[in-house]
A = this chain, B = another copy of it.
Amino acid sequence: MSLLTPAQLEAALRDIGAKRYHRLHPFHGLLHGGKLTRGQVQAWALNRYFYQAMIPIKDASLLARCEDSAVRREWRSRLVDHDGEHEGDGGIARWLKLTGGLGLDPEYVTSLRGLLPGTRFAVEAYVRFVREKTLLEAIASSLTEMFSPVIIGERMAGMLANYDFVTRETLSYFDKRPPQAQRDADFALNYVKQHATTPEQQQAVLAALEFKCSVLWAMLDALYHAYVAPKQIPPGAFVPKE
């Protein structure tokens, strides 16, 4: 292991994104390409809700171990993005607009009764990672946001073109995210470039991003297995009506 320059570290992070980000998962090809039924899209939105709902818990867990007031001040905007300024505002509320627009009852969605165990375990592993690893690794694990504006663009275009049951209003969650993700990713990327100053820390940063990619990937594996092929829905999980 040799020490990378900050630019080399950034390049190595981008390389992980190019190879491991869930944009490459077959489920997203189907989702964005209009190859899924409404029930399969519902299953995706329902499961992803748990991820959305846990993001502020994850971010507050990071704040709870950060002793630098300036970093906390920056990171706290993520809580505002997801919980909003008032009832009905923020990313979680907008995700419930998405599930509602797809015809899912909000009480059922938020109850988590229909969640795939694979989704639950992957998301919980992410929260645990942020609670238990170093602050540097916790911050690095957020860096999948570097890659999210591209996938969101593809998703908006693909889903609007290919599904008559999806409207722009339903997808309003994704309208707001790219600038927020860009701002957050810039901060986190600068942070790790500045604070990963030993080869060991740099490797830990790279491993943190690989870990996070595997969380997002595992969520789609669980969806594919249950709802695409071999279509083995685990007991208790959401069953599409069609």
Question: 1/0 contact trace for A30-73 toward B, CB 8 Å?
Answer: 00000000000000000000000100110011011111011011
- Select one of B63, B83, B90, B93 contacting A60, CB under 8 A: B63
Contact of A92 with B by CB under 8 A: yes
- Which residues does chain B contribute within 8 Å of A93, judged by CB atoms? 69
A29 within 8 A of B: no
A76 within 8 A of B: yes
Tell me if A69 and B56 are in contact (CB < 8 A): yes
Which residue of B69, B83, B86 is within 8 Å of A92 (Cβ)? B69
Chain A 70-92 interface mask (CB, 8 Å, partner B; 1/0): 10110010011011111100101
Q: Which of A129-173 contact B (CB under 8 A)?
A: 131
Contact B63–A87 (Cβ < 8 Å): no
Contacts of A90 in B (CB 8 A): 69, 73
Contact between B72 and A60 (Cβ–Cβ < 8 Å)? Answer: yes
Give the complex CA separation of A63 and B127 in angstroms: 13
CA distance A93 to B72 in the complex (A): 14
CB–CB A69/B83 < 8 A: yes
Contacts of A82 in B (CB 8 A): 69
| Interface contact A64-B69, CB-CB below 8 Å | no
Determine the chain B residues whose CB is within 8 A of the CB of A84 once the complex forms: 69, 73
A64 to B65, CA, bound (A): 11
Point out residues on A near B: beta carbons under 8 Å: 53, 56-57, 60-61, 63-67, 69-70, 72-73, 76, 79-80, 82-87, 90, 92-93, 131
9 more A-B residue pairs beyond the given contacts A69-B82, A70-B87, with a C-beta to C-beta distance below 8 A = A53-B67, A57-B67, A64-B64, A69-B90, A73-B84, A73-B86, A73-B90, A76-B76, A79-B79
Mind listing 26 A-B residue pairs with CB under 8 Å?
Answer: A53-B67, A53-B69, A56-B63, A56-B69, A57-B65, A57-B66, A57-B67, A60-B60, A60-B61, A60-B63, A60-B66, A60-B72, A63-B63, A64-B131, A69-B82, A69-B83, A69-B84, A69-B92, A69-B93, A70-B87, A72-B79, A72-B83, A73-B85, A76-B76, A76-B79, A76-B83
